[in-house]
Amino acid sequence: MLMDSSFFLTIVAAAFAIGFFIFLRKLRIHQENEDVGSSSTSPPSSLASSTSPPSTLSSSTSHPSSSTSPPSSLSCTGTHHVFPSFRGDDVRRNFLSHIQKEFRRKGITPFIDNEIRRGESIGPELIKAIRESKIAIVLLSRNYASSKWCLEELVEIMKCKKEFGLTVFAIFYEVDPSHVKKLTGEFGAVFQKTCKGRTKENIMRWRQAFEEVATIAGYDSRNWENEAAMIEEIAIEISKRLINSSPFSGFEGLIGMKAHIEKMKQLLCLDSTDERRTVGISGPSGIGKSTIARVLHNQISDGFQMSVFMKFKPSYTRPICSDDHDVKLQLEQQFLAQLINQEDIKIHQLGTAQNFVMGKKVLIVLDGVDQLVQLLAMPKAVCLGPGSRIIITTQDQQLLKAFQIKHIYNVDFPPDHEALQIFCIHAFGHDSPDDGFEKLATKVTRLAGNLPLGLRVMGSHFRGMSKEDWKGELPRLRIRLDGEIGSILKFSYDVLDDEDKDLFLHIACFFNDEGIDHTFEDTLRHKFSNVQRGLQVLVQRSLISEDLTQPMHNLLVQLGREIVRNQSVYEPGKRQFLVDGKEICEVLTSHTGSESVIGINFEVYWSMDELNISDRVFEGMSNLQFFRFDENSYGRLHLPQGLNYLPPKLRILHWDYYPMTSLPSKFNLKFLVKIILKHSELEKLWEGIQVSIYHSFMKFILF
């Protein structure tokens, strides 16, 4: 009876699992069918939530400011975050006092000018206060234009916005924004009265400042039934901006970055609001192109209606055909998903992304471009709205020439003194050597070369070592380093212990593409004594970053894959990992995979025909633990005889477009941690009853 009861429970569990899986699959299909209709019409998020009253001046603008970081942050000696410009008689006792109370609740410090004596023009104290602010709030009330002091404040604020990137919020308090812009109505009448006896030059400066501030998407109090709700919305948005902004703190530890950003801003010509411009950033891998683009994007993105930072994974196989429809379609899909921050978006025709952004002022950053098709698939600058900018980073200057990009910033190696500073930041924690280490640091910097990535890696390697340890390492550096980038990076790999080396190779060959998520430790627990400690070591050595979605620089990925390739140059089936698409095809069709293979990362960036493989293709690879065949492959693994065997030690099964209606009936789920079968033909998990499902069902993740 006990056996019968156990068997009955197993059958019930299996039936539940199968039914649940089929339900998920049907739900997924239904959602994918719905995606096209919903996502294509969903606007980008704006200042107000979907339940809030309209708060923007223009429906086509989604940011309340047109720039980001001001020239300086709230340092240890700073006293305020926000500079408010207002007409005291109109708002000081009501709206202003309420918003200041909300600011205090959220830890936002406004500038208080009660003790400053007002006169005909604003003095150096106020100019300093404006320039030291992170955000300026212009509270435009009925009598705002009656004060020459307010007018001069506004001129200075708009000047700082233009010259230093000061973030500006406009609040239209019981006034019509169009009256502010055109200086008409009651607001205009007040302005005309103030202008009497003033010079034409001053009047023109004030008019221009009003025109500029009125074009910023702002908050119109007339659209809010509840003033408290509007104040809370404003305070929340300012809190977000303060948290996300990093003026000049973004340069901390980034030696020479300020100069790079200034040169890029000159090339972008941001002052030209009618022009659409594309700028390329070129240079060798590890020189800092992506970092420059990221810092620049963070600084200027708020000046655009929409912005996107799209990072391309490096292509390790042959070039993709520039006319490949499927490739372009997927690239457009990725672009839109990142632009509107909506995963699983589906499009069915080329040009959808371009139509979506047509006429809008957009900032597009395309990072790591290495194939022409990646540029051809993106929206064209000519179709974007006035003031739009496109930034492209690439190692291949020929791509920029092919795309007829005239404005190119070639990132050069840092000069010797900056190279030493970069090294010291990572070796000592500050930009100069510790006492007694001056000559040693200079020698290591020269040996390592001036490549920023190499300097970071080498600095991290030497951090915490004694002077004697440094001296002991120098002879080895002279022997191993021949000026090649790979040698610089491999030096840091060589000094790892065997377990950390193995973890590095796992990430380089498989998990950099898969990502390090919450299942990572469970997946590798059997292999490594302390996964988290291993990750910490790699971070400390600058071999991975703390961005776990794609933690390893592509140069280090190439290093790791080259190390694995050298395990068996001419017989790939005897390597630890298979990552090259062509070699994987050869191994699968010739049945030359061996017990040495623990991972296959079949992420092909070029079109391929259907690949016919045997039903027992994996039998020779009994130790295979990680299998990834993702949708970027644009091809299919065809199994004309079905699939009778999957390796019993599989821990990750990621097979997009899985061609069978079920998994092999003898597939062992004991070790499985993650299973991803997007766009598959799967109808049920397997034929018959899988006895181990009761114990394993909750261990893996279904997508």
Catalytic residues: 153
- Alpha helices (runs of H) in 484-634, residue ranges in sequence order: 485-494, 498-506, 512-514, 520-524, 531-540, 554-565, 581-590
Q: Which helix (H) or strand (E) holds 39?
A: helix 2-39
Q: How far apart are CA 684 and CA 687, in angstroms?
A: 8
Can you say how many angstroms the Cα of residue 479 is from the centroid of all Cα atoms in its chain?
A: 38
Token pair for 549: 């979605």
Per DSSP, 436 falls in state: T
Q: Two tokens at 648?
A: 């019993």
Distance between alpha carbon 136 and the CA centroid of its chain, in Å?
Answer: 27
Query: Residue 62's closest CA among 281, 271, 237, 277?
Result: 237
Cα 597 vs. chain centroid, distance in angstroms?
33
Question: 282, 409 in Cβ contact below 8 A?
Answer: yes
**Distance between CA atoms of residues 651 and 511, nearest Å:** 13
Contact in structure between 255 and 431 (CB atoms under 8 Å): yes
Give 482-507 as a 3 state SS string. CCCHHHHHHHHHHCCCHHHHHHHHHH
Burial of 628 (0-12, 13-18, 19+ CB in 10 A): buried
**Token code pair at residue 350:** 């080329």
Cβ atoms within 10 A of the Cβ of 638, count?
11
Cβ–Cβ < 8 Å for 647, 672: no
Backbone dihedral angles phi then psi of residue 174, each to the nearest 5 degrees = 60, 35
| CB-neighbour burial class of residue 14 (10 A; exposed 0-12, middle 13-18, buried 19+) | buried
Phi then psi for residue 658, to 5 deg, are -55, 125
Distance CA 521, CA 319 (A): 35
Expressed in percent and rounded to 5, the helix, strand and coil fractions of the chain are: 45, 10, 45
Long-range contacts at 695-701 (CB < 8 A, ≥ 24 apart): 695/670, 696/669, 696/670, 696/672, 697/13, 697/17, 697/669, 699/669, 699/672, 699/673, 700/669, 700/672, 700/673, 700/674, 700/675, 701/519, 701/673, 701/674, 701/675, 701/676
d(CA 624, CA 598): 4
| Cα atoms in the Cβ-side hemisphere of radius 13 Å centred on 137 | 29
Q: How far apart are CA 117 and CA 512, in angstroms?
A: 60
Q: Which of 510, 475, 503, 507 is nearest to 491 (CA)?
A: 475
Q: At what angle do helices 185-195 and 200-214 cross, to 10 degrees?
A: 150
Largest Cα separation within the chain, whole Å, is: 105
DSSP string, 402-417: HTT--EEEEPPPPPHH
Q: Residue 228 has which token pair?
A: 């408290």
